[in-house]
Amino acid sequence: MNKPLRRIAIFCGLLVLALLIRDNWLQYLKADQLRTDPANRRVAIERYANPRGDIIVDGNPITGSVEAKSGDFKYKRTYKNGAMWAPITGYSSQAYGSNMLEGVEDGILTGTDDKLFFRNTLDMITGKPKQGGNVVTTLNSAAQKAAFDGLKAQGGKGAVVALEPSTGKILALASYPSYDPSSIAGGSDGTTWTSLTKDKAEPMLNRALRETYPPGSTFKVVTAAAALENGLYKSADEPTNSPLPWIMPGTTTPLKNEGNIQCKNVSLREALRLSCNSVFGKVGADLGNDKMLAEAKKFGFDSEQFTPIRSSASAFSDNMNKSQTALSSIGQYNTAATPLQMAMVASAVANDGKLMKPYMVDELESSNLDPVEKTQPEEMSRPLSPANAQILQDMMETVVKQGTGTKAQIPGVTVGGKTGTAQHGVANSANPYAWFVSFAKMPDGSSPVAVAVVIEDESANRDDISGGGLAAPIAKNVMEAVIQSKK
């Protein structure tokens, strides 16, 4: 071969080599990035080429799929009682992606998760189209309806979370106001999306998991736990040596109680029943920031929770002086909690001091209903010894029997609870938040449900806002729904 031909051959060989390198780079190194690129229309078309799997509650699907009337996406997501279930399902939108369970378990629902490899391989061999799997939840439909209907009837904003204390199963998770995910499932629902995202009431905010509120007096349950666990008091009924007024350390300011309640030197039980700020503020200051923070962390504060939907971290501050610690110990100052967090507090007390990790997905299924993955209950921490938990249970039961939580009483069932009315706004200028945390105990000693309710009603008469008045009746209805469903 003469020199010119040899040069041409070498050049062509280099071009072929470059082409092979480029081809392999695209197929192997860049494949995942290109496959998940939002600009890759083919991926989106494939995503909606088959019906998604379903999200299941009590054996019934609360989602569905219908053929789209136009466009190159074949199927569109639908929801049953969408507004009620939105904090759990989230949305799956042809235009805006997905969130909540629709987002976290997208691989299972679309059939692309590696857990479905065996099922997908069989379907490929038999020629069946790829199908999504199902997400079986722990939710209780009766409890969820009681929670959502209660919030809706109240008419303001709020959230409810109910847990099964012995396992950590989430039985109800409601947020209000809400929205119907079906209304934004299509590719041309931009007007609805804009309306929802600009709505000042924030209907798309998951208040149960993503909003933190000052927990007010419901946090006194944590403070009481810290007092018992650290040996500050040995029982519920010994005097607390609390003066009235009690002056916050380093200040000349008394920590005031509501109205004219008699909190001088009362016991922990009486202090919880009356909701004495002075007593629990003093407990927090006496224990100090480090011990209070350690106890709060045992209940889950300062950590995000994954249910598997992410829940915002609740907060109890570090490096506070005694006065700040006192205010934080009655659920004010910098203390902030999600409704999930306060349901975890009630759940740990009800479960004899053992806090179980909260979760809402019981099982993942393939398209032919074969189990793919099963969630096992997992102990998260031990905020209380069994003996101290039982003391605190008894104290909370007194609150419902003859304290501020009487509206949560259920005939034939022992109920423990704690009310809270948390300050809101600069210098407490806005309407306060109404809280109630509770648990139900059956005659055999088992506790099927713990609940947290928060209400924020900007239009209500300020004097009418209380945890016992607004939140406790909702908690009662949710607990009754769970108890009835187990009969």
- Residues marked active site are found at 217
Q: Collapse the DSSP code of 485 into the 3-class scheme (helix H, G, I; strand E, B; otherwise coil) and give the result.
A: helix
Do 175 and 88 touch, CB atoms closer than 8 A? Answer: no
H helix intervals, 25-140: 31-35, 41-47, 82-89, 100-104, 106-110, 117-126
Widest distance between CA atoms in the chain: 110
Give the CA angle between residues 33, 37, 42 to the nearest 5°.
115
CB-hemisphere CA count at 13 Å for 451? Answer: 37
In angstroms, what is the C-alpha Rg of the chain?
27
How many CB atoms within 10 Å of residue 466?
A: 20
First-to-last alpha carbon distance for the chain, in angstroms, is: 92
**Cβ neighbour number for residue 49 with a 10 Å cutoff:** 14
Phi, psi values for residue 75, rounded to 5°: -120, 150
**Are the CB atoms for 388 and 403 separated by under 8 Å?**
no
Nearest Cα residue to 168 out of 368, 348, 334: 348
Peptide bond into 214 cis (omega under 30): no
The Cα 417–Cα 474 span in angstroms is 13
Of 203, 84, 82, residue with least CA distance to 148:
84
For the CA atoms of 310, 316, 318, 319, the dihedral, rounded to the nearest 10 degrees, stands at: 150
β-bridge mates for residue 449, sequence order:
440
The SS3 call for residue 439 is strand
Secondary structure element (H or E) that encloses residue 483, with its range:
helix 472-485
Phi, psi of 132 (to 5 degrees): -80, 155
